[in-house]
């Protein structure tokens, strides 16, 4: 299972989902789905934009749980 660390990363940066949406141009609903772990798929472009906005690596954003 792949899980997102978006709640932790946003919390560490005291950032709200809406701010991340504005910074990345990703729809708020898409950010919310990622935040809640409900996204069924993720575009590589979205991952790239999120990592740039949060100044993090993909390994910090996503974790794999066997």
CATH of the domain at 53: 1.10.260.40
pLDDT category at 6 given cuts 50, 70, 90 is very high
pLDDT category at 9 given cuts 50, 70, 90 is very high
Q: What is the pLDDT of residue 23?
A: 97
DSSP element (H, E) containing 1: none
Strand blocks (E) in the chain: 2-4, 62-64
> Where in the sequence is the domain holding 56, given as residue range(s)?
2-64
- Tell me what the pLDDT averaged over the chain comes to: 96
Token pair, residue 7, equals: 């709640």
In this prediction, what percent of the chain has a pLDDT beyond 70? 100
* Domain count within the chain: 1
pLDDT digits (tens, 9 = 90+) for 21-45: 999 999 999 999 999 999 999 999 9
């Amino acid at each position: 299972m792949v899980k997102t660390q978006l709640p932790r990363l946003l919390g560490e940066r005291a950032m709200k989902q809406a701010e991340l949406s504005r910074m990345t141009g990703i729809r708020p609903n898409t950010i919310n789905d990622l935040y809640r772990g409900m996204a069924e798929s993720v575009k590589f472009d979205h991952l790239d934009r999120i990592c740039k906005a949060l100044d993090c690596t993909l390994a910090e954003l996503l974790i794999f749980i066997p």
